[in-house]
Every structure is written in structure tokens, then in C-alpha cells.
A and B are shown apart, each in its own frame.
Chain A
Amino acid sequence: RKEVEQDPGPFNVPEGATVAFNCTYSNSASQSFFWYRQDCRKEPKLLMSVYSSGNEDGRFTAQLNRASQYISLLIRDSKLSDSATYLCVVNTTPGNQFYFGTGTSLTVIP
């Protein structure tokens, strides 16, 4: 079983739409959770960290459900510039490794 699983998509949504991505993780000892954004042929860049139950930053909201072992990312009022691949990342201590989902592709359509 993979450590982190995401729906690969693709998600194609119109501008202004709300879109949600889910991610599940297998190790209940995981402590740190992140959402990254990756543009084509570029390195991943941090979008949000989630250390407690959730985090909100403008149009982006991340939620963590430890009991069900899933993390979600909600994007409101989608912009064309939100088109990218979104990676769910989990870190487990001890061991201190980051486990990456394979990413969810989002295309926002005019």
C-alpha cells in the first residue's frame, strides 16, 4: 500500500469554481502535512503546511482529519494561474522522511 494516495485527476474546472482535492495517508504516526504546487518542468513549491486540524490562506484551505487519515485542499474562486499539479506530502517521525503523493493535475479553464 502506498504511503500517500491522491486522485491523479485531471480536474478541469471553469474560472471561479471551487475545487477540492483529497489525499489519504497510511501511517498513523505521521506528524507533519503539506500541500505543494508544482508547475510543469519546475520544482515543487510549498503551498500550505498543516500541523493541526487545518489551515487557511486566502482562497486556499487545508483540512486534516487524523481519525480518517486524510488531508484535503480546497481552492475557492479558481484562477487561471491556479493551473498546476498539487502534491500531498506527509512527514513521519521518527525516520523523518517525506512521502509524496503522485499529484493531482488541475486545469482552470477561461
Chain B
Amino acid sequence: DVKVTQSSRYLVKRTGEKVFLECVQDMDHENMFWYRQDPGLGLRLIYFSYDVKMKEKGDIPEGYSVSREKKERFSLILESASTNQTSMYLCASSSVLTGTLLVTEAFFGQGTRLTVV
């Protein structure tokens, strides 16, 4: 089974702190994603990466950065945490179906519920 593991289930941080959320996948997937999920807004893409050291902005990248130094690890960084970044953060990975342009489904980590106080 594919496993996507996020480093923490729950985090409480103070305003202004630098926050690191780590995500590791064990299936050699090319693509990795960071989302946040808020009530009524669904999942919104923050950043994604389709290869080591590659990153692309999603819909809401402001206030965030990412790092992908190794294929299996994709880190989300909150440069200076603010209360409006209190949310559920979900990491996901996916691959490409061999010989096609189609992608496999996104496999999700268990989520990190971040509270910024």
C-alpha cells in the first residue's frame, strides 16, 4: 500500500513563528502536493511539485514556501505564521500511468491540523 506520512497530526504555533510541515511518501511518486482544507472552501492547492527541486505555485501560495530536495519528501514552510493560516493541511502524492498522460489518484497523508495562536 502507498503510504504518505505527515510529520504531525496536531500542531499549535504562535503568530510569527516559522513552521515546517513535513511529508514523506514511499511509492516513488513524481508528483507531490500541499493543500489546505477549510470549512465551506474545500481543498485549495498551495504548492505542488512534479520532480525533485521543482515547484509550482497553486491557487493560494502567499505566505508559504516549499522544498523538495529528495523525491520522497515535500516540505511546506510557513515563513511567519499568522492566525489566518489555522487550517487542516493535507499532503498528497500521485504518479503517471505508464505510457499515458493519465495520472493515478492522489494518495493523502493523514493531515496536520495547525492552530496558530
Contacts and interface: CB of A to CB of B under 8 A. Distances in A.
Interface size, A (range): 20 to 34
Most buried by A among B35, B92, B101: B101
A97 B101 contact: no
A79 B109 CA distance: 26
Contacts of B33: 98
Interface of A: 31-32, 34, 36, 41-46, 49, 51, 87, 89, 91, 93, 96-98, 100-103
Given A31-B101, A98-B45, A100-B42, 9 more contacts: A34-B105, A34-B106, A43-B108, A44-B108, A89-B106, A98-B33, A100-B35, A102-B40, A103-B42
Main secondary structure of the interface of A (DSSP, over half): strand
Contacts of A44: 43, 90, 106, 108
Contacts, number: 55
Interface of B: 31, 33, 35, 40-43, 45, 48, 50, 58, 90, 92, 94, 101-111, 113
Contacts of B50: 96
A103 B48 CA distance: 22
B65 to A, nearest CB: 18
Contacts of B108: 43-45
Given A43-B90, A43-B108, A45-B108, A32 B40 contact: no
A96 B103 contact: yes
16 contacts: A32-B102, A32-B103, A34-B105, A36-B105, A43-B110, A44-B43, A44-B90, A44-B106, A45-B108, A46-B107, A87-B43, A96-B31, A96-B103, A100-B43, A101-B42, A103-B42
